[in-house]
Structure 1
Amino acid sequence: MTLRTPLLLALLLGTSATGIALAADAPTAAPQRPAKLDSNNDGFIDRTEAASSPRLLAKFDQLDTNKDGKLSREEMPRGKHGHRGPGRGHGEQLAKLDVNKDGRISREEAKADPRLAERFDQMDLNKDGFLDKADRELRMKQHRDAWFAAADTNKDGQLSKAEFDAAKGPMHGPRHGREGHEGRPGVAPLTK
């Protein structure tokens, strides 16, 4: 009886952070993408540099449209977000800004990225003068709380199955073959 309520609450909270959970559970067997393919910093990727990425090397001749033996930024395939070339991931950019390698970005370190410096105060949720794990966790909690508040349409501090199903939206799809938990003995609605 009491085991199911925390389990359902964990399920509810997990749905708001599905992307994070999926990223955390991603298999580690996949080869890691090299941090930087253009090792000589000439703005091009030649065949020897492309050799560190087997997928890129396999498409090298197809991508080298001007047949000059190197790939320019324009010849690089677009990533899933429309960016060309071997751009840096968000985590890599932040790690690069962390000059003193203390695991957090100070206001002074953020000045190296004008866009980040502009948003620093907005992102420093705990107002400690640093962007760090505590700020990310606080932001995730705010998102979960906002999701729960929006899902709790009757504002009773609990989510019925109908509220939960309506709130999870098309992203999570229908719950085939599962009965609702209302009316089942010993199973309470989800509460915050």
Structure 2
Amino acid sequence: MKIKQLLLVAIAATLIPALSHAEPGQGPDGPGGPGKKGDFFKKLDTDGDKQLSKEEVADAKRLSENFDKIDADSDGYLTPEELRAHMKQMREERDGGERKKLDTDGDGVITKAEAEEAGAKRLLENFDKIDTDGNGEISREEMMAARKERRGPPPPPPADEE
């Protein structure tokens, strides 16, 4: 695997849980997290202008290292929309690369034979569970459903204290 791809995967693994379902200004401390909705972005957005400067993300290593790549409009600031777009792209690159590696014949599904050939031990161990329609192939939708199930349901929102 190329160093650039490995770096992208590492960044995605770190940021995806925080931002993959984020609404503007929402991150790991949003619903289900320890703080209130918007805390992640607000913690970094020290001047409250709803965008992040290089100075504001200086202590957030991965954001700082990838600032220019995430800053789609090159205005020197990161917006919640830019962060979400970047995370979406990272997920698509990661998921597409994984499927392409496993789907050796390019037909859009992964068979047991392809999983065996790729040495995907964990996939093989769970193949029948993931293959919910029992057709001997794992579709993109089945793989996504398995990932979602593995993550589990989001925790309930904290009870409001009165």
Please, what TM-score do these two structures have when normalized by structure 2?
0.41
| Richer in helix (by share) | 2
Look at both structures and tell me which one has the larger radius of gyration over its CA atoms. Answer: 1
Higher RCO (C-alpha 8 Å, min separation 6): 1
